[in-house]
Amino acid sequence: MEQYIMKGGNPLVGEVNISGAKNAALGILAASVMTDEDVVIENLPDVRDINVMLEAIEEIGARVDRIDRHTVRINASGIGEVSVDDEYIRRIRASYYFIGALLGKYKSAQVPLPGGCNIGSRPIDLHLKGFRALGADITVERGAVIAHAIDLVGAHLYMDKVSVGATINVMMAATLAEGLTIIENAAKEPHVVDVANFLNSMGANIKGAGTDVIRIRGVARLHGTEYSIIPDQIEAGTFMCAAAITRGDVMVRNVIPKHLEAISAKLIEIGCEVIEFDDAVRVVGKPVQHHTNINTLPYPGFPTDMQPQITVTLALARGTSIVTESIFENRFKYVDELARMGGNIKVEGNVAVIDGVKNFSGAAVNAPDLRAGAALVIAGLAADGYTVVDEIGYIQRGYECFEEKLRGLGAMIEKVDSEKEAMKFRLRVG
């Protein structure tokens, strides 16, 4: 089983380049099958979730040509299948975007229901409610969503909850519906805007993405396009916290600073220096960092996907901090792992009370999910001694070249898959 082994204590210093946004790319890849013309997508992150999504697109009959590590050409004219294999939804939840894309284009889709995951039950009732509002007949049989529509007709719908996935999925289906669709209480995340911009580059007519009311005027068809994915807000935030927790000085390049405002504001609150440039953010950690309170919210609030990373940073700050997880019901599983490193956090329901400690000591810990895994790695880089993080497959789903990028900042970290390799690392770094 591959693991990360690291020796903590080095402040991270230098520059790191951020990859394309995984959660924008997943929606955009699904939407790329909504035309029969060539679609070229650039700045794709080379991470497992994206590669699984590309396999799923090929499996239903589209042609996928890898132009280079971060660029792909897709042509969906050969799609003969509107049923997505269970294998893909079990490996990545975002396969559910095929419902909106295939229903929009073919008025038919069959996609297995995504399971829950380690951070919560993750229902898709809002997605299905949106498709029904557009006139689709939706049934759930043998663990799969079966969607059919004679015609999709624009509707005025209100999302009971702010949902990134439901907003993107319904927006996709509505691009080829007849007439006007209005989505109220829509999600405003940067990746929702990126998917809307991508669809508009294919000839869709979407207005208001990034606000809580999105208007989609249906068009007859979508054409090919060339498009570059926005930088990953959460990867950038993860490296910003890595700079803070290790008391380093890191220039995070290829970002959109506006997308990082909630994260920058909190790092400034705890005492870090954060300097914004056109497409970069510099974070300088301070020897003494202070407590603050965090409440995760839909964008532009503090992102839930940054909750583990800011929590471990606060666990090494002075004073008591309170972190409230308002989006998912089970996103503090990593707290028990952090306790093995000396973290002092008490979780009651969706609230974590963090009593800052002076230092962590290295330990063997398990990554319970993607973002918590990344948080345990940056905690290990700030710890005294050696830390081993297991189950790193979660981390590789969403972070491209994670250990290489960290080593580029002076981290002593390696990916190992045997005790012998771990021993060699210990001997080498001493």
Which residues belong to the annotated binding site for UDP-N-acetyl-alpha-D-glucosamine? Answer: 93, 122-126, 161-164, 305, 327
As a whole number of angstroms, the distance between CA 395 and CA 240 comes to: 17
Burial of 249 (0-12, 13-18, 19+ CB in 10 A): middle
The nearest distance, CB 25 to ligand EPZ, in angstroms, is 9
Q: Which residue is nearest to ligand EPZ (CB)?
A: 165
How many other CB atoms are there within 10 angstroms of residue 47's CB atom? 23
| C-beta of 227 vs 386, nearer to ligand EPZ | 227
The nearest distance, CB 151 to ligand EPZ, in angstroms, is 24
At residue 40, φ and ψ (nearest 5 deg) are -110, 125
As a whole number of angstroms, the distance between CA 287 and CA 354 comes to: 19
Closest to 248 (Cα-Cα) out of 18, 16, 383, 409: 409
146-180 burial code (b ≥16 CB/10 A, e <16): bbebeebbbbebebeebbbbbbbbbbbbbbbbeee
The nearest distance, CB 118 to ligand EPZ, in angstroms, is 9
| C-beta of 119 vs 206, nearer to ligand EPZ | 119
Amino acid letter, 47: V
As a whole number of angstroms, the distance between CA 97 and CA 146 comes to: 13
| Longest Cα separation, the chain | 68
Residue list, annotated binding site for phosphoenolpyruvate: 22-23
The nearest distance, CB 187 to ligand EPZ, in angstroms, is 6
At residue 406, φ and ψ (nearest 5 deg) are -70, -40
| C-beta of 10 vs 95, nearer to ligand EPZ | 95
Closest to 373 (Cα-Cα) out of 304, 303, 302, 308: 308
Site residues, ligand EPZ (CB under 6 A): 23, 26, 94, 120, 122-127, 161, 163-166, 187, 304-305, 327-328, 370-371, 398
| C-beta of 45 vs 362, nearer to ligand EPZ | 45
Residue list, annotated binding site: 22-23, 93, 122-126, 161-164, 305, 327
Cβ-based neighbours of 225, under 8 Å, separated by 6 or more? 35, 39, 40, 198, 201, 202
| C-beta of 356 vs 398, nearer to ligand EPZ | 398
The nearest distance, CB 124 to ligand EPZ, in angstroms, is 4
Which one from 117, 241, 272, 401 is the annotated catalytic residue?
117
Question: For this structure, is 272 an active site residue?
Answer: no
Q: Which residues are catalytic?
A: 117
